[in-house]
């Protein structure tokens, strides 16, 4: 069966020859014909629009869940001052992270083997089930209730973690066919923006519920907030059931005999880059997000839950402009450069806050502004670019797997950072949480410079064909694609092209 496109000349994976790229682009060409024998172009385009829309809206729920414990930690500490110790707080917060790590790896593999749609539907169900369990948290003892909450948050984490590779890869592939020249900004606006917006959104919902409960009835407040988290994924569930797998996936999927050793040999360098940079980013940003409410409440004198929430809302709002600025400049400045600039923000603002902590915390607005600028620089650089680069660096057949692995290593960094946050604060002092953020910024710049590929935003089908030719050159003879677009790996690729595409100097 024909794949719908062929390649006559393909450069190696690291080649930047404009002439070669032009030849490849001419051969790949746009999807002027129907995407396949079974799916019309109109139906596929409509599905792509729904996929992008649903991915963005669903990822708001991920951002909501990721940031829900920020204020809930403060509230539970007020409600259960003896039972909700720092150990319990860390355990409940880390439950989401552990679930996310498992979900990112498992769903990353699943969305490559079984399809984006299957994985997305499953993650939606897990978020809803986990949210219901968290809302109904109960136990014979208070500690038993917190253990049920821990398990429920882990289930939610599995779903939200799975959304990273499932939603992000499908959004990237759909945007590639709908708006190839603006794929980067479009991808950021439906992935990192919803995730970042989830912070102030979660705080806003929390404050509304808190005020509705008369700033009391704390148990009602956190249960309602957990329950509301089920609404967002359910609101787009219909669209997710109706979506189709992208044309890119139906052409490039590898559902049997995935050559993982060849994948590692081909992608070892970008994997070190995306995994390493994501680890450093989440090591800094996640604990600073989860415990920012606690930090603010300790800085503000005679703080109430409401005043802490209001300062937290300002902090989240200041962090948002970085997302828009990064999306605006990613094509002009370059993805790699944007990421290094973002890590530089950790260095600059981390050192300012850390070195002047005792003085700057006496001026609460100034402290919150600098804290927000540090978070905003993270959104501008690695927050925006890591998902984008992880969706663009890898071929469609292994995109979910590599994306999920990169995100999982990042969440491992978040779990370690969350676990280490309290000991660092207790033993070294609160200022060291910011100084260590600055150190991570320096390491992040180095990892990005040496290992992250400098991508230009070319058509994803070009990278698919380079990877296809590489596999052929190494003797792999499996099949790629789903039934309606399935073809042998070497279809349309001559032996000479396969030989030319094999990497000689770089991975």
pLDDT value of position 404: 93
Pairing relation of β-strands 487-488 and 479-480? antiparallel
Q: Distance (Å, rounded) from C-alpha 458 to C-alpha 337? A: 17
Domains of the chain: 41-251+259-458 (1.20.1250.20)
Q: Tokens representing 345? A: 């923000």
| Helix or strand holding residue 209 (H, E) | helix 192-212
pLDDT value of position 279: 96
What residue spans of 244-395 are helical by DSSP H? Answer: 247-252, 260-290, 292-299, 305-319, 321-333, 335-355, 357-360, 364-378, 384-392
Residues 196-223: tens digit of each pLDDT: 888 888 888 988 998 898 877 888 999 9
Q: Tokens representing 146? A: 């917190």
C-alpha dihedral, 75 to 79 to 84 to 86, nearest 10° = 40
- Dihedral-angle region of residue 481 (phi above 0 means left; psi in -120 to 50 means alpha; beta otherwise): left
pLDDT value of position 51: 82
Q: What residues contact 218, with CB distance under 8 A and at least 6 apart?
A: 75, 76, 78, 79
pLDDT value of position 325: 93
Q: Distance (Å, rounded) from C-alpha 344 to C-alpha 293? A: 24
Q: Burial, 18: exposed, middle or buried (Cβ in 10 Å; 0-12, 13-18, 19+)? A: exposed
CA distances from 78 to 67, 207, 216, 245 (A): 18, 15, 10, 47
pTM comes to: 0.81
CA atoms within 13 A on the CB side of 319: 31
Q: Distance (Å, rounded) from C-alpha 399 to C-alpha 165? A: 8
Q: Distance (Å, rounded) from C-alpha 198 to C-alpha 196? A: 5
Instruction: Please identify every stretch of the chain with a pLDDT value under 50, giving residue numbers as ranges.
Output: 1-34, 494-507
- Note whether 111 and 166 are within 8 A (CB): yes
The residues with which 488 forms a beta bridge, in sequence order, are 479
Residues 439-482: tens digit of each pLDDT: 999 999 999 999 999 887 778 888 888 998 899 888 888 788 77
- Note whether 277 and 440 are within 8 A (CB): no
The DSSP code sequence of 438-470 is HHHHHHHHHHHHHHS-------HHHHHHHHHHH
């Amino acid at each position: 069966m024909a794949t719908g496109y062929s390649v006559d000349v393909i450069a190696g994976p690291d080649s930047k020859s404009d002439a070669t790229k032009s030849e490849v682009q001419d051969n790949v060409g746009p999807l002027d014909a129907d995407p396949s024998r079974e799916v019309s172009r109109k139906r596929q385009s409509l599905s792509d629009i729904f996929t992008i829309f649903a991915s963005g809206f669903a990822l708001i729920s991920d951002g909501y869940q990721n940031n829900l414990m920020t204020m809930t930690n403060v509230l539970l500490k007020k409600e259960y001052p003896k039972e909700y110790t720092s150990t319990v707080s860390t355990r409940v917060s880390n439950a989401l992270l552990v679930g996310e790590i498992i979900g990112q790896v498992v769903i990353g593999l699943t969305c490559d083997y079984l399809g984006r749609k299957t994985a997305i539907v499953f993650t939606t169900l897990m978020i809803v089930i986990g949210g219901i369990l968290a809302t109904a948290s109960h136990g014979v003892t208070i500690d038993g209730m917190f253990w049920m909450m821990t398990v429920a948050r882990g289930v939610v984490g599995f779903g939200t973690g799975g959304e990273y590779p499932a939603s992000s890869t499908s959004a990237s592939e759909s945007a590639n066919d709908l708006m190839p020249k603006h794929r980067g900004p479009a991808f950021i606006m439906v992935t990192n923006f919803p995730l970042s917006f989830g912070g102030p959104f979660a705080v806003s919902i929390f404050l509304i519920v808190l005020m509705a409960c008369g700033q009391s009835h704390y148990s009602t407040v956190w249960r309602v907030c957990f329950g509301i988290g089920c609404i967002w994924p359910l609101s787009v569930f219909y669209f997710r059931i109706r979506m189709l797998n992208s044309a890119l996936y139906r052409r490039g999927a590898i559902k049997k005999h995935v050559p993982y050793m060849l994948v590692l040999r081909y992608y070892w360098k970008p994997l070190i880059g995306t995994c390493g940079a994501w680890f450093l980013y989440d090591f800094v940003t996640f604990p600073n997000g989860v415990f920012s409410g606690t930090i603010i409440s300790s800085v503000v004198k005679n703080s109430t839950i409401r005043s802490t929430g209001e300062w937290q809302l300002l902090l989240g709002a200041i962090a948002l402009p970085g997302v828009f600025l990064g999306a605006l400049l990613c094509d002009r400045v370059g993805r790699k450069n944007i990421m290094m600039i973002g890590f530089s923000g950790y260095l600059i603002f981390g050192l300012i806050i850390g070195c002047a902590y005792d003085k700057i915390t006496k001026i609460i607005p100034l402290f919150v502004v600098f804290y927000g600028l540090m978070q905003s620089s993270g959104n501008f650089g690695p927050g925006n670019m890591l998902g984008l680069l992880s969706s663009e660096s890898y071929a469609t057949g292994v995109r979910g797997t590599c994306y999920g692995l990169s995100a999982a290593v990042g969440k491992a960094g978040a779990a370690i950072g969350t676990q280490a946050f309290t000991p660092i604060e207790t033993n070294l002092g609160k200022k060291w949480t910011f100084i260590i953020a600055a150190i991570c910024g320096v390491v992040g710049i180095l990892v990005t410079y040496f290992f992250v590929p400098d991508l230009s935003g070319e058509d994803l089908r070009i990278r698919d064909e380079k990877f296809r030719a590489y596999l052929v050159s190494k003797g792999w003879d499996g099949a790629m694609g789903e039934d309606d677009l399935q073809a042998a790996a070497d279809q349309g690729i001559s032996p000479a092209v396969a030989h030319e595409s094999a990497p000689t100097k770089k991975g």
